């Protein structure tokens, strides 16, 4: 009598790329079946034509409400918004394109002369903390090459004024 020994069938070693290709093929079959099922199941639903809709007009972003309750801090905050809206310039309160300097921004933001003067003095103090030789706000403004420091010091001055209750 002959005896046979049971041998396990060897499974071929499949690399990662082959397994990924097989999984991709299986998923494509499942997605095709699901798509066909949706088409069959929704074939009886009437489709209304989509009406033509004009695009809504683009709206400008709203300015955030003033975070400060004190008058001088609010003036400095509004001055920063004026500077951001109109642009920054040196050598004049306002240039031909409508850009303004720091003093012009504060004058545009202040409803009265005393608030503008107080805002200018707080701004000069904030500037002099880092630039002790700054003579005045207009002189410091004109010595800058970019508006980034102007924005930063308007923010610092607003915080200083708010902390002092001005």
The domain tally of the chain equals 1
**Cα–Cα–Cα angle for 75, 128, 149, rounded to 5 degrees:** 65
Tell whether 11 is covered by a domain. Answer: no
Query: What is the structure's pLDDT at 101?
Result: 92
pLDDT at 42 over 70: yes
Tell whether 129 is covered by a domain. Answer: yes
Taking each helix axis from N to C end, the angle separating 102-109 and 71-86, rounded to the nearest 10 degrees, works out to 120
Tell whether 57 is covered by a domain. Answer: no
**What is this structure's pTM?**
0.62
Query: What is the structure's pLDDT at 1?
Result: 57
pLDDT at 11 over 90: no
The secondary structure element, H or E, covering residue 71 is: helix 71-86
Q: Please give the distance of CA 90 from its chain centroid, rounded to a whole number.
A: 27
Tell whether 14 is covered by a domain. Answer: no
Taking each helix axis from N to C end, the angle separating 102-109 and 113-130, rounded to the nearest 10 degrees, works out to 140
Tell whether 96 is covered by a domain. Answer: yes
Query: What is the structure's pLDDT at 30?
Result: 95
Q: What is the pLDDT of residues 46-105, one digit of tens each?
A: 777 776 767 777 777 777 888 999 999 999 999 999 998 899 999 888 888 989 999 999
Contacts of 65 (CB under 8 A, 6+ apart): none
Tell whether 122 is covered by a domain. Answer: yes
Tell whether 148 is covered by a domain. Answer: yes
Tell whether 78 is covered by a domain. Answer: yes
Hey, is 13 helix, strand or coil? Answer: coil
Q: Which of the two residues, 133 and 112, has the higher pLDDT score?
A: 133
Q: Which residues of 44-70 are buried (b: 16+ CB within 10 A; e: fewer)?
A: eeeeeeeeeeeeeeeeeeeeeeeebeb
What is the residue range of 120's domain?
71-164
Query: What is the structure's pLDDT at 135?
Result: 92
d(CA 102, CA 123): 9
């Amino acid at each position: 009598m002959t005896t046979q020994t049971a041998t396990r069938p060897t499974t071929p070693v499949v690399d990662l790329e082959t397994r990924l290709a097989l999984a991709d093929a299986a998923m494509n079959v499942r997605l095709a079946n699901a798509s066909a099922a949706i088409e069959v199941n929704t074939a009886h639903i009437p489709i209304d034509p989509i009406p033509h809709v004009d695009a809504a007009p683009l709206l400008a972003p709203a300015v955030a409400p003033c975070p400060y309750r004190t008058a001088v801090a609010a003036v400095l905050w509004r001055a920063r918004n004026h500077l951001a809206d109109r642009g920054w310039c040196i050598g004049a309160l306002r240039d031909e394109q409508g850009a303004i300097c720091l003093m012009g921004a504060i004058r545009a933001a202040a409803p009265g002369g005393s608030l503008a003067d107080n805002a200018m003095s707080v701004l000069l103090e904030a500037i002099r903390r880092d630039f002790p030789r700054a003579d005045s706000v207009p002189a410091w403004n004109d010595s800058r090459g970019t508006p980034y420091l102007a924005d930063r010091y308007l923010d610092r001055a607003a915080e200083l004024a708010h902390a002092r209750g001005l």
